[in-house]
Each structure stands twice: as C-alpha cells, then as structure tokens.
Structure 1
Amino acid sequence: MRIYEGRPAQAVGRLEKEMKVYDLLDELGIPYVRTDHEAVMTIEACREVDEALHIEICKNLFLCNRQKTNYYLLVMPGGKNLQAKELSPQIPSSRLSFASGEDMEKYLNVTPGSATIMGLIFDPENKVQLLIDEEVLGEEYFACHPCVNTSSIRLKTEDVLGKFLKAVHHDYIPVKLSR
C-alpha cells in the first residue's frame, strides 16, 4: 500500500466530497498523508490500512437518541466496543441507537462504512454533536477516511482539534469509554 503526501494529483475518479476534504485541509495548512485502498466497511477490514499509516484508524459511529432529535458522531479507538449504558450518562442522552444510513447521508454526506469526523464539513447547522473518546484525544496522530472508504488519511490530532474543528464550527465532548 503506497503512502502519498497530501491530495491526489488528479481529481479524476474522485468524488466531490472527498476533494472538498482535501481542499479544506490544504486551505487550513494541515499536512496529512494518504493511502488509497479497496473499500473497507469495518474496523477489521482496516488492519492493512492501519499498518500502512502506522496508526489505528478510529472507529466512527453515527448515533441518535430514540426520538431522532439529537445526533452524535462518536470517535473512538478501533479496538473498543461501544457500551451505550456507559456513554449515555456522559452526554447526557438515554436510549442511544445507531442512526440510519439516510440520516448519515443527510447530516454528514457519507454512507455507511464511511463515517468520519471529516463529514462535519457538511453539517453547517451543527445538527451533529461530536463525541471523542479521551484515548483518541491523547494520541499524537489521528487517522480517518476523507468522506469515502476507499482512502484514508493521517494527520496530527492537534490539527484536527484546533484548526479543523474551528473551521467547521464544531466543538466536541470528551468521553471516557472502557476497553
């Protein structure tokens, strides 16, 4: 698997939403490395990508409350499993479940298997609350998809938390999830 510095040389064959991610990262002066790969739908399928980028790609879960009035993007280490009863009191919201693929597309412009913090570019009305596990916050680097699951990028966590989130007008709630 090849590693590239920055954006693809050509946009041919790339989706507009992926290119918007690269445009914003470049505009903000955020350096990143990228790898292209077959579509990966699960964290387990990302192992080869993890090895290429020398990092564990984050698990991104798109959740909602029972009434579907509050939406959450939970970013956590790939090796952790979600315990909703552990998360609910920290946000606070009860009866969390996975949001639909249609809602994921509506609010983040991504499809199932492609959920990513980069999708917040497409949430100008802040309908999605970002939740980040404290273990992710403590890492030097952060890896995710650029709104498609056929590429992955690695960038500094401080750039994501500072420059990127500020540019897309989102804040985050730190959460603590056990392994």
Structure 2
Amino acid sequence: MSSIYIDPQVYTGRPASAEGRLEKEIAVYDLLDRLQIPFTRVDHGVAMTIEECQDVDQLLGIEICKNLVLCNAQKTRFYLLLLPGNKPFKTKDLSKQIGSSRLSFAPAEYMEKLLNVTPGSATIMALMNDPDNQVQLIIDEEVSALEDFGCHPCINTSSLRMKTKDVLEKFLPAVHHEAIFVKL
C-alpha cells in the first residue's frame, strides 16, 4: 500500500488548467497533443520510488517502468535506461550489451543539465529536453513489448498511460532519439 496521496480520478489528457503545474510538465502535454498521442493521467503526491507508484499503477492499469539515468566513470556518456519496475538492475548485464564499462547512476546535476529532471522524475518524456542527443535511450525488450506504457511527465506528481507503439513510433522520432533495445 502506497503512503503517498493519490487522486482516485483517472483523467483523459492534460489538466484543465496549468495552474500549479511546472512549465516542463505542460511542455510534455503540449508535445503529446501536437503529436496526437492520447493518454490518461493520474495525479498524486511525490512518488520517488517504484514502490510508491504501485497504487498509481493499479489505477492506470499498467506497471510504470523504472527510468534510470546512468553514466560511464568519466561522465562523458549518459544513458536513460527503461526496464520493468519489478526487474532488478545489474550494471554488468547492461555494460556488456552496450560496450560500456563501469556504469553508475548519473549525479543529479547531470540529470538536470541534460534532461531537465530531478531524481525520482526521470522519464522518457525528458528526451524532449535533449536536442543535442547527449543521452542515449536504452529500453529493455520487455518494456518495448508491452501494449501500454507508463511514465511521468517530467515531474513525479503525475503519471501517464499511453500506447507503447505511440511512444516508439511518434514520440521518439519527434524528439530525434533512437533506442537501443537490450535484454536484461
């Protein structure tokens, strides 16, 4: 059972008002609308962990995936990894597949600088804030095989559900990012 507040209402599309919303969250809704990607949304208290998202997942009828911002030891290569929320992350399994050794979690300042998100708010939607493609998207094949996709809109006080196909075929081309698919 989650300890965060969750609005029990599942909304279709963007909030009726931008009041109380961050500019980066509204920018996500603007882009999704422009790309004609339909989505449902649940608003909630700050969710910092996958465990805190479990009740949100139930309302949306999905499992929000883990979004990890990683980097190499020199902090010259950055990655956004999406994997199922219940799947443990083993850096050696990923390092081998992408040819990068010694991966670690990227420091918060790099998350903010490269993706305009803070810890707990990492999301594929943040790739819209990376026009220079400094962050390589990596998706576990289990996530790409799901019919529906769950993520935050660049802030961890709302969660979205949309078609995975729309994310892969409309969103990623629009933000000029390509995914590397891995099996973890």
Distance 2:123 2:24 in 1: 12
Q: RMSD over aligned Cα, in angstroms? A: 0.4
For 1:94, the equivalent position in structure 2 comes to: 101
Amino acid corresponding to residue 92 of structure 2 in structure 1? K
Distance 1:23 1:163 in 2: 14
For 1:22, the equivalent position in structure 2 comes to: 29
Deviations 1:129-177 (A, max 9, x none): 0000000011000000000000000000000001000000000000101
Distance 2:115 2:9 in 1: 28
Amino acid corresponding to residue 72 of structure 1 in structure 2? Y
Give % identity: 66
Where does structure 2 lack aligned partners over 5 or more consecutive residues?
A: 1-7
For 1:118, the equivalent position in structure 2 comes to: 125
Report the CA distance between 1:89 and its aligned residue.
1.1
- Any runs of at least 4 consecutive aligned residues in structure 1 with deviations exceeding 2 A, and if so which? none
Where does structure 1 lack aligned partners over 5 or more consecutive residues?
A: none
Is 2:151 aligned against 1:144? yes
Amino acid corresponding to residue 113 of structure 1 in structure 2? G
Is 2:52 aligned against 1:45? yes
Report the CA distance between 1:53 and its aligned residue.
0.4
Q: TM-score, normalised by structure 1?
A: 0.98
Q: TM-score, normalised by structure 2?
A: 0.96
Distance 1:132 1:30 in 2: 20
Q: How many residues matched? A: 177
Report the CA distance between 1:95 and its aligned residue.
0.3
